[in-house]
Structure 1
Amino acid sequence: MGAPIVVVDYHKGNLLSVVRGLAEVGGEAQISDDPEVIRGAAGIVLPGVGSFEDAMSYMNESGQADAVCEAVGRGVPFLGICLGLQLLFERGDERTDGKLHGPSDPERWVSGLGILPGSATRLRSGRLKVPHVGWDQVHLTANGRACPLLRGVPEGANVYFTHSYALDDDVEAADVTTRTHYVRSFASAVWRGNVYGVQFHPEKSSACGLRILTNFVDIVRGEAK
């Protein structure tokens, strides 16, 4: 495979579980916060720790955001996990101040990487508990049934979630590979070209999660069927 898979470190949490998951399925992975290392990666994993605004502030200031976008633009396989999925999109409303801003509030939005069109917004419910934590189902779309990352993942598979924000309805339907129904129906996985993202944590999702990580390693190696 040459260069390793790089797990991007934006200084917001423990990333070792992702590295261990990739290693368990035979992937060579390393953690790095260095934009030049990210640019030279064989594959990139953007993990799910911290808040949207905090993560984007660090990635922009450090040069990581530009490095990720340049690598993705060259066709380097990319996997966003949880918050890493949300950061792929144009904007999110998770602010550092923790306030819930109204739809017309100019302070509502934080710009994301903008690799895919759409928004990540707060899950709101007076009946169901938020954050959404625990095992839940993913339902495959037609795009999902063709997605190399989801090869061998059955319809209705149970995976592990922990999040308070999710992709909104302005995400393009053609990019959605799975949907999950909690508070609202939201895109829980996406795919466009060399870009993949999952709202759940494959490194915490038992055999199904390891299948997904195996598939990503195969994609990086050019062995995906």
Structure 2
Amino acid sequence: MITIVDYDAGNPRSIINMLQYLGHRAELTGDPDKVAKAERLILPGVGKFDWGMQRLHDKGLSAPLDEAVKRGVPMLGICLGAQLLTRGSEEGALPGFGWVPATTVAFDRSRLDTRLKVPHIGWADTGWNAGHRMAVDTPEARYYYVHSFHIACDDPRTELCHTVHGYRFTAGVERDNVFGVQFHPEKSLSFGMAVLSRYAGL
């Protein structure tokens, strides 16, 4: 069973629908006990960093999530959920979970061509770094992005995948049983299906 964490951040129903289409059992819950006992976890989300962390605190989900990760449960963060895996964000003041040695930073507009907009919205070619459990062997992989901030890794070995919007940046992270992708696999058609299938098979 794959448990999707419900903390009122975005619409996780499309993630459930894709997982079920792929033949995987999935449930959406905001119950701290179910989260603590989960076999696999997905932390979705859209919105601001501090708002997301505060929602998890308010719903009593932060400690169960940390407990699950520490006992080795595979955790996949998506979009805001991926950013919450880091120590914190330039966007706010609250600390993140810190499971991944990285921070979340704003796009450096000084490095962007004036024709490139922030937020970064749309499809982008994405390269997977070899040697990672979550790396997907998909030629010409493209995924759908909607974000104004991205992850910056302390250790390049933590970078799972990368893309370009004006400059190269980290599009996904992996450390032990914790994984995160900045893009939306549930909006990325067959490319996204391959990502969720890979995660479900870990």
SS for the counterpart of 1:135 is strand
RMSD: 1.5
Establish whether residue 8 from structure 1 lines up as the match of residue 15 from structure 2: no
Identify which of 39, 47, 51 aligns with 2:48: 51
Which residue of structure 2 lines up, in the alignment, with residue 201 of structure 1?
184
AA of the residue aligned to 1:136: A
Q: TM-score, with normalisation over the residues of structure 2?
A: 0.92
Consecutive unaligned residues in structure 1, runs of 5 or more: 96-108, 220-225
Cα offset, 1:24, TM superposition: 1.3
AA of the residue aligned to 1:191: E
Identify which of 131, 151, 162 aligns with 1:167: 151
Instruction: Please give the alpha-carbon distance, in whole angstroms, between the structure 2 residues aligned to 1:214 and 1:140.
Output: 15
- When the two structures are aligned, how many residues end up with a matched partner? 198
Identify which of 18, 22, 27 aligns with 1:25: 22
Which residue of structure 2 lines up, in the alignment, with residue 115 of structure 1?
99
Give 1:137-216 correspondences, 5 Å limit: 137-141=125-129, 145-154=130-139, 156-168=140-152, 170-216=153-199
SS for the counterpart of 1:89 is coil
AA of the residue aligned to 1:84: G
SS for the counterpart of 2:144 is strand
C-alpha contact (below 8 Å) 1:176/1:190 kept by paired residues: yes
* 1:26-57 residue CA offsets vs partner (Å, 9 max, x unmatched): 11111111111111111000002221111101
Deviates more, 1:22-31 or 1:180-189: 180-189
* 1:181-222 residue CA offsets vs partner (Å, 9 max, x unmatched): 113321101111111111101111111110111111111xxx
Instruction: Please give the alpha-carbon distance, in whole angstroms, between the structure 2 residues aligned to 1:43 and 1:215.
Output: 13
AA of the residue aligned to 1:138: T
Which residue of structure 2 lines up, in the alignment, with residue 99 of structure 1?
none
C-alpha contact (below 8 Å) 1:179/1:189 kept by paired residues: yes
Instruction: Please give the alpha-carbon distance, in whole angstroms, between the structure 2 residues aligned to 1:93 and 1:32.
Output: 29
C-alpha contact (below 8 Å) 2:45/2:52 kept by paired residues: no
Instruction: Please give the alpha-carbon distance, in whole angstroms, between the structure 2 residues aligned to 1:118 and 1:9.
Output: 24
Give 1:75-114 correspondences, 5 Å limit: 75-95=72-92, 109-114=93-98
Instruction: Please give the alpha-carbon distance, in whole angstroms, between the structure 2 residues aligned to 1:12 and 1:72.
Output: 20
Q: TM-score, with normalisation over the residues of structure 1?
A: 0.83
C-alpha contact (below 8 Å) 1:5/1:45 kept by paired residues: yes
Instruction: Please give the alpha-carbon distance, in whole angstroms, between the structure 1 residues aligned to 2:7 and 2:84.
Output: 12
Which residue of structure 2 lines up, in the alignment, with residue 135 of structure 1?
123
Consecutive unaligned residues in structure 2, runs of 5 or more: none
Give 1:36-75 correspondences, 5 Å limit: 36-75=33-72
